[in-house]
Structure 1
Amino acid sequence: MSRVLIVCWLLASYAFADVETKQTGGIGKKGACFSRQNDQWSYKILQLKANWYYSWGRELREERPKNVEFVPMFWGKWFKDDDIEYLLNLKNQNQIKFVLGFNEPDSPNQSNMSVDEAIALWPKLEAIGLPLGSPATVNPENKWMINFMQKVDDLGLRVDFICVHHYGGKNVQGLLHKLHRVHQRYNRPIWITEFAVADWNAKSTGQNRHSAEDVLKFMEGILPALESLEYVARYAWFSASSTSKPLGSATLFDENNHLTALGHHYASFQPKKK
């Protein structure tokens, strides 16, 4: 191989590595999401061997798991300039590298914001000066998200990556096709900040049509696929209570806070080295 070709190959390799580092922060994709109200939340994050976590909040707590990256979120519209200043201080201390946008603003049961409300507040989030994730809507392909991203582009605002929630069935290819469409539509890296297998028609945990074995098979298929997709920068499985009717079979921890078989697989999963 000629010296010129070697130099070109090295430059291309460095460029790809730089893009990958900007998308992921240079750490593994696998993360965790637990509210601070969740029993033993810090312990659970460590048990899952997560590389990063978020709690739907902005505060970096003292009892946080050490050596696991915290990613703050602006859950909704109820924040003050002091909250921006707090995150600027964390940024200056090199304690945070990314910021997540609003949580399901299209849902009346979550942050419940209009597109115009979200757009009006967005420059405040941009001012922190860190890579910024989009609002995570109930469906990343719905009218709310499409309108929001159109206004972002029209107004020259900044969204660095798309946050995706997914609570579908056990179809691995179905999720992969969805991610492909989202990436094609918005042309940005993707963070899957919540996903799990759900049966929204289940009247009890025993009547959930997705067994724990079904969910494990789904996880065994989807995790390697997510690792192989360059445009998927990070992902975090949502672990509901074991008593949840739609999501009980997808929990990572049982009622005694011990890892389920699914939790053991998530904790032990490591991507194959390239």
Structure 2
Amino acid sequence: MAVSRFFNLVALSCVALFLCSFGPEPVAALSSPDSLVLPRHMARGHGAIAAKRKRAANKSKRCRTRPTSSDTSSTATSTSTTSSSSSTHSHSSSSSSSSKPKSTPASAPASVSVNTGGGGGKFALAWPNGDSGLQSWKGPSMMYTWTPACPDSAKALGIGCAPMLWGWNQVSQFQSTVKPGYSNIAMAINEPNEPGQSNMSPESGAQLWKQYVEPLRSQGYELVSPVTSSNPNGFTWVQNWLTACDGGCNFDRLALHWYDNTLDKFKDYINKWHTAFPDKKIWITEYACVNFNGGAQPSDAEIAAFHAAAIPYLNSLDYVEYIFPFGAMKQMDGVDPANQLMDPVTGEPNALGWTYLALD
């Protein structure tokens, strides 16, 4: 009897192990480079979209892979085909707590001459912080928040603000907020070619624009184009959007996003769009020096050198009207903190922030 029970137990164990082998497989959270996108603080109204990564000593593991303007291997032409992974990429508290931006000086270097406001220069603010600390950033003449809302203190500080219709999820807020006189320029559609962003087809983008954005022209607004990521499919998305619009979508400014690791690539990307739209002033509404294509990351010194060279170059281009470097925030959410413009503790400009403020 004991022997019989023993063999029964062995048989049941084998069955259990066999059944367990059919359980769900773990999903690699970062398995699809085509679906990886940059962060946008969902709590502040623009979609949070990427788990933060530790800034480890081995910088090649510090950032996520993402196709950019220099990654010619990615040629997908619509957002519906950019992602082949079943995993989702979202901002999670468990992963974000591990990312700690390095501290930087909060006061302006003595060698930097800072205009105290209303300078009208090219430096502008991509600003997710509401009214918190904005008085420390007096100087830029333009800003946006990835939302329809503008900080209450912006006008008193002499900062113009372009409300943004980020995507379909903001239609109600946009309609109730953006009225005649609220501003004189508006933005719409944030990275529609990215699954983790506004994620819409050119046809859907044309519908959104014609229904909610184009009518603002009759209310005295100038309009800033949809802005795609620097994934190569972004250029195609805009072309297909214009086709779908069939003449019903008009914009006065062309918006660009760029993330890559050399100034030469940045120059080539800007020139590509300027050649395609030579009559449009350009707003570069996000950019940073970071490698999302895999391989080694630029060092802190290389990032500093990039910004030092990019500032005079961008200032020399008469068709570039505003530049919005990604970094006026306390948490960089996966973008190398060496691009950060803000002291992560005080919220005041750090050394790089003051360098940009000196433009104004």
User: TM-score normalized by structure 2?
Assistant: 0.58
Alignment-derived partner of residue 186 in structure 2: 99
Q: How does 1:34-113 map to 2 (within 5 A)?
A: 34-36=127-129, 40-43=132-135, 45-46=137-138, 49-64=139-154, 66-80=157-171, 83-84=174-175, 86-89=177-180, 91=181, 95-113=182-200
In 1, the alpha carbon distance for the partners of 2:274 and 2:163 equals 23
In the alignment, structure 1 residue 212 sits paired with structure 2 residue 300: yes
Matched with 2:310 is 222
Instruction: Tell me how far 1:243 sits from its aligned partner.
Output: 6.3
**Aligned equivalents of 1:251, 1:220: Cα separation in 2:** 14
Q: For 1:237 and 1:182, locate their aligned partners in 2 and report how far apart those are by CA, in whole Å.
A: 18
Q: 1:117 aligns to what?
A: 204
Structure with the greater alpha carbon radius of gyration: 2
CA positional deviation for 1:159: 1.9
What is the identity percentage for the equivalent residue pairs of Structure 1 and Structure 2? 25
Deviation at 1:255, TM superposition (A): 2.4
Equivalent residues in 2 for 1:103-252, closer than 5 Å: 103-123=190-210, 124-129=212-217, 130-139=221-230, 142=233, 143-152=236-245, 154-169=246-261, 171-187=262-278, 188-200=280-292, 209-239=297-327, 241=330, 244-252=333-341
Which residue does the alignment assign to 2:342?
Answer: 253
Structure with the higher helix share, 1 or 2: 1
Instruction: Flag the 1:45–1:176 CA change in 2: closer, same or farther, 3 A.
Output: same
> Measured at CA, do residues 259 and 36 of structure 1 come closer, stay the same or move farther in structure 2, by a change above 3 Å?
closer
Q: Deviations over 1:172-191 (max 9, x none)?
A: 22211211110111332211
Q: Give the SS at the match of 1:167.
A: strand
Contact persistence 1:140–1:165 (CA under 8 A): no
Structure 1 range deviating more: 76-85 or 122-131: 76-85
CA contact (8 A) 1:162 1:189 kept: yes
Does structure 1 retain, via aligned residues, the 8 Å contact 2:281–2:319? Answer: yes
Moved more, 68-77 or 222-231: 222-231
1:220-253 CA-partner distances (Å, limit 9, x unpaired): 2111221221211111111055665542111112
Residues 137, 348 of structure 2: 8 Å contact kept: no
- 1:254 is displaced (CA, Å) by 2.9
* Partner SS for 2:255: strand
Q: Where does residue 124 of structure 2 map in the other structure?
A: 31
Alpha-carbon distance, 1:76 to partner: 0.5
Could you say if the C-alpha distance between residues 229 and 261 of structure 1 is closer, same or farther in structure 2, counting changes exceeding 3 Å?
A: same
SS at match of 1:259: coil
Deviation at 1:82, TM superposition (A): 7.0
Gaps of 5+ in 2: 1-118
Distance 1:146 1:105 in 2: 13
Q: Which residue of structure 1 lines up, in the alignment, with residue 48 of structure 2? A: none
Answer whether contact 2:133 2:348 (CA < 8 A) is retained: no
SS in structure 2 opposite 1:193?
A: strand
**Contact conserved, 2:206 with 2:242, CA < 8 A, in 1?**
no
Amino acid at match of 2:342: F
- C-alpha offsets along residues 99-122 of structure 1, whole Å, 9 cap, x if unaligned? 111111111111111111110121
Question: What SS does the aligned partner of 1:162 have?
Answer: strand
Q: Which moved more, 1:229-238 or 1:140-149?
A: 140-149
Q: Give the Cα separation in 2 of the matches to 1:258 and 1:80.
A: 32
Q: Provide TM-score, normalisation by structure 1.
A: 0.74
Q: Quick one: distance in 1 between partners of 2:226 and 2:310?
A: 23
